[in-house]
Every structure is written in C-alpha cells, then in structure tokens.
Amino acid sequence: MELIFELGQEGRGLDLLPECDVCEVTLDAPKRAGKMHLPHVSETELSRHYTRLAKRTHGVNDGFYPLGSCTMKYNPKVNEEMAALPGFTSVHPLAPVESVQGCLEVLYTLQEDLKEIAGMDHFTLQPAAGAHGEFTGLLLIKAYHKANGDEKRTKIIVPDSAHGTNPASAAMAGFEIVNIPSGEDGCVDVEALKAAVGEDTAGLMLTNPNTVGIFDKNILEITEIIHKAGGLCYYDGANLNAIMGQCRPGDMGFDVVHLNLHKTFSTPHGGGGPGSGPVGCKDILAPFLPGSYAVKTADGYEYEGCEESIGSMRSFAGNFLVIVKALTYVTTLGAEGIKEASQNAVLNANYMRVKLADVYDMAYDVTCMHEFVMTLEKKKKEINITAMDIAKAMLDYGIHPPTMYFPLIVHEALMVEPTETETKEEMDYVIEVLREIMAKAKEDPEYIQHSPHHTVIGRPDEVKAARTPVVTYEF
C-alpha cells in the first residue's frame, strides 16, 4: 500500500491552508535544514487513504478481540457523547473553581464511586495509565515507610504470576524486587512468601485474579503475612472485570490499588484515546496522595492537596475526558449493572473454556475468573503446532488472536478474555473456529504452520521487525 507521501501531485491540496494574515517573522532559533515534506493530496485522496488504513486494522468495533489481561470490551457510544459535551471540552484547567463546579462534581463523583467499588478510603484520578498508577502507589508506600523512619524497607515482593509492569514499576520507584514462585495451582506459594518476608519488606504487589485468570484462594492469609512483617499490600486492579461488585481489594486487606479505566471501565485503549489509572488507598496513605483532588464542601466543590504529598504525577486532574467516559459507564450500569457485568465476564470465560477443553489443553484445569489460559506445549511436541500457528490461523477467520506467549509461567500460552460484552453467538462462532483449526492442524499441520493464507501480509519476520525497524521515510 502506498504511503501518503507517495500519493497526489506537487502543490495539490495545499490551498486548503488559509492565507497568512499576520506579519511573518523569522525566528532566531535553529532552523530546519531541508524542505518540509507535506503530503500533496486532495481531501478525497486523504479521506480514502485513512479509510483504507482503517479497514486494515482490527478493533472492538470490527469483531471479537479476546486479548487476555487487556479487557478489550465494547466502548459504549454514549460515553463518547458525554465526553463531547461543550461544557466538558471547552473548559480550561485553570478556570476559577466556581465556574467549573460541574467538572469538579464529575471528578468527585467518580472518586466516590471508585472508593465504593474498590473498598478504599481515598482516590486520586491523576495517573495516566496502569503502570503510572503502580508507580504512584509504590511512591505512596515509600513515603509511608519514610515518614515512619522505617527506611530499611527496600524490597517489594512480586509473585511470578504478576503482570510484567509490576516489577518494572517497583524498580522505577527505587525498590529491589523479590520474585516468588506460584504453586502448581497457579496461586502464590504461601510457604515461599513466608520465607521471603522480613524487616526489609516494603510491601507486596499482587495481581488478583492473577495473569492466569485465577483468584488466589489464600488472599486473606497473604495480606496478613505481609502486614505482620510490617509491609503494605498493593493490589493490581487493572482488570477488575472479574470481581467488581462482588468483592473489594480493600476488604481483602490491601492498602493501595490501581484500576485501569481503559480496561474495566470501558474507556478505549491506545488509538482510541489516552488512558487513566486511578489509585485508591487507605487512610494511612492519604497524607501522601499526589496533586489535588476534588472535595465537597458546604459551598460546593473545591480542589484540595496534601502537605506531605509525593508531588504531582501528571498535570492538573488527570485525563479529564476519560474520567467523564468512565463516570458515564459507572452511572449507566449502576450498582446492579456493575455486578452483572463481572458475572457475565466470568461466565463467558468459563463457557468458552469448557467448550474448548476437549480439544485444547488448559494450563489450569479449574474454574477461571474473567480469562483462561490454554497451552499448546503438548501439541507442539506431538504435531509441531505452536501457539503462534493457532493465532495466525485465526486471522483467516477475521478474528483477533488471544494474548500469546503470556503469562511467561505457561509455555506456548494463549490467554483468552472474551469480556462480558460478547454475545453467545459470537463466542460460539469463535469456539467453532478454534475447533476447526485444531482439526485441520491434525489432518494437515503444514497448512496451519503456514497460516494465514488470506490476509494482506502473512508472517512478517518478527525478529527483524523488532531489531531493525524502519520507522522513517526516505524522501
């Protein structure tokens, strides 16, 4: 496919720019050495170019998108309508608070709702992503120990079933990482945890349900072990899809949590807009909260900050329009709807798991939460079919593959998260496709090993793409 620079004719389309009606000045600053390369295309060419590109990508509006640990659920259109209201889009972050009471009410209401959902005493909406939330939460833990004169606590315990961002965030916050293994059942090895805690334990970071889709049955014992050792407990709640409305991290003994609005709370990921990773905490961590948050007073809403704050994690109140979308979602669903959403997320994952279990090996043969992990390890040995082959074969059916080769503790992993917004018919179709692919793999492995056969590109050289990416265009 041609790039936009290869379309059009010299000079075309540029008359769309208005005449310059201010005097031209020449800046003293360093100047561009060469000519500026602008595409010379008509509006029609431009529009068709991007439409062609859009048709080659796959999003939640195109079809099933079962990326485990990503919660690619449908993004309700009413969220977008609310976030497009001029009262939200045309305000300035430094506008006097009396003129933006509605916006502060939005911030305050979402803070309150998230407190209720997560079982926390406070929430900051500032962090701009999940990993950013983790970093924020860890700085809170650090500030807490420092305020207590307990600076020997330098280690964060991270189970091997944690999301990859957990150890990365802990390292960035200046902690040492202590990795502990999972047991056969996919849960934290409690004995290993007991052996790992000590006077240098700053805290634990736990993803629950973990990255293999299992709710840790020892959760209360785990948080107690950490607290007894003087540490704090961090809950990675990026994917709260499985538990929201059912149980709360705060009630399980966690002191701090982050939630991904761009997963659980239906705001888009990536190209759909910026993210948001609010952080909730218990009272003991409140003095260190970042930036300012909305409070309700007798005279209306105001911003408030803490004296011992860790500082701002981002400008102003966070990604405000994402917050509007998440509040729209929570308000649309209500308490009952939130509960129903997590029930359906878990039901859908288990429905697919059970319907596939006779054809695909499950990494853990237990009832899962919102996602489940298949392993192609045996099939690789028997018929030389890998997780990659299955994922590639799915592309021929117009289906986005599940998360592959993650979590790392499962070999040849395919992690499926259907989410609650898929219908039974859609899941039945995907189940049928996956069964068909495996049948074909047994009968004609070569065909599947060379899939996809009907897409624009087949199997790009992934190592080359990662090692020597071409990210600039040579004119």
Ligand X SMILES: *Cc1c(COP(=O)(O)O)cnc(C)c1O
Contact by Cβ (8 Å): 389, 448: yes
Binding segment (CB under 6 A) for ligand X, from list 36-44, 233-241, 324-332, 354-362: 233-241
Nearer to ligand X, 13 or 277 (CB): 277
Question: Does residue 236 bind ligand X (CB under 6 A)?
Answer: yes
Indicate the DSSP class of residue 67. B
Among 131, 188, 324, 448, contact with ligand X (rule: CB under 6 A): 131
Nearer to ligand X, 145 or 269 (CB): 269
- Nearest approach, Cβ of 38 to ligand X (angstroms)? 33
Question: Does residue 173 bind ligand X (CB under 6 A)?
Answer: no
- Nearest approach, Cβ of 319 to ligand X (angstroms)? 11
Among 245, 268, 277, 407, contact with ligand X (rule: CB under 6 A): 277
Q: What is the C-alpha to C-alpha distance for residues 456 and 388, in angstroms, rounded to an integer? A: 18
Among 110, 125, 143, 238, contact with ligand X (rule: CB under 6 A): 238
Q: What is the C-alpha to C-alpha distance for residues 252 and 25, in angstroms, rounded to an integer? A: 63
- Nearest approach, Cβ of 165 to ligand X (angstroms)? 4
Contact by Cβ (8 Å): 430, 395: no
Nearer to ligand X, 193 or 415 (CB): 415
Q: What is the C-alpha to C-alpha distance for residues 317 and 453, in angstroms, rounded to an integer? A: 48
Question: Does residue 182 bind ligand X (CB under 6 A)?
Answer: no
Q: Among residues 254, 259, 256, 290, which one has the least CA distance to residue 277?
A: 259
> Which regions of 310-434 does DSSP assign to beta strands (E)?
361-362, 372-375, 403-404, 413-416
Question: Does residue 253 bind ligand X (CB under 6 A)?
Answer: no
Question: Does residue 280 bind ligand X (CB under 6 A)?
Answer: no
Q: What is the C-alpha to C-alpha distance for residues 146 and 434, in angstroms, rounded to an integer? A: 53
- Residues touching ligand X: how many (CB under 6 A)? 13
Q: What is the C-alpha to C-alpha distance for residues 208 and 212, in angstroms, rounded to an integer? A: 9
Question: Does residue 69 bind ligand X (CB under 6 A)?
Answer: yes
Question: Does residue 371 bind ligand X (CB under 6 A)?
Answer: no
Question: Does residue 206 bind ligand X (CB under 6 A)?
Answer: no
The order of strands in the sheet holding 279-281 is 122-124, 279-281, 256-259, 232-237, 201-207, 155-159, 176-180
Which residue's Cβ has the minimum distance to ligand X? 130
Binding segment (CB under 6 A) for ligand X, from list 182-190, 234-242, 334-342, 419-427: 234-242
Among 207, 223, 386, 421, contact with ligand X (rule: CB under 6 A): 207
Question: Does residue 392 bind ligand X (CB under 6 A)?
Answer: no
H/E stretch holding 256: strand 256-259
Question: Does residue 239 bind ligand X (CB under 6 A)?
Answer: yes
Question: Does residue 420 bind ligand X (CB under 6 A)?
Answer: no
Question: Does residue 130 bind ligand X (CB under 6 A)?
Answer: yes
Question: Does residue 402 bind ligand X (CB under 6 A)?
Answer: no
Distance (Å) of CA 14 to CA 4, 10, 17, 301: 14, 9, 6, 48
Return the structure tokens found at 216.
């840790």
Question: Does residue 338 bind ligand X (CB under 6 A)?
Answer: no
Using the Cα atoms of residue 388, residue 390, residue 395 and residue 401 in order, give the sign of their dihedral: negative
Q: What is the C-alpha to C-alpha distance for residues 458 and 462, in angstroms, rounded to an integer? A: 11
Distance (Å) of CA 451 to CA 135, 140, 400: 40, 48, 14
Question: Does residue 275 bind ligand X (CB under 6 A)?
Answer: yes
Question: Does residue 136 bind ligand X (CB under 6 A)?
Answer: no
Q: What is the C-alpha to C-alpha distance for residues 474 and 242, in angstroms, rounded to an integer? A: 48
Helix, strand, coil percent values for the chain (each to nearest 5): 40, 15, 45
Among 117, 129, 369, 374, contact with ligand X (rule: CB under 6 A): 129
Question: Does residue 345 bind ligand X (CB under 6 A)?
Answer: no
Collapsed DSSP state (helix, strand, coil) of residue 31: coil
Among 79, 111, 126, 260, contact with ligand X (rule: CB under 6 A): 260
Question: Does residue 245 bind ligand X (CB under 6 A)?
Answer: no
Q: Among residues 338, 304, 312, 342, which one has the least CA distance to residue 107?
A: 304
Nearer to ligand X, 13 or 249 (CB): 249
Among 124, 126, 165, 264, contact with ligand X (rule: CB under 6 A): 165
Q: Among residues 108, 84, 86, 81, which one has the least CA distance to residue 97?
A: 108
- Nearest approach, Cβ of 26 to ligand X (angstroms)? 43
Question: Does residue 290 bind ligand X (CB under 6 A)?
Answer: no
- Nearest approach, Cβ of 177 to ligand X (angstroms)? 15
Which residues form the interface with ligand X (CB under 6 A)? 69, 129-131, 163, 165, 207, 236, 238-239, 260, 275, 277
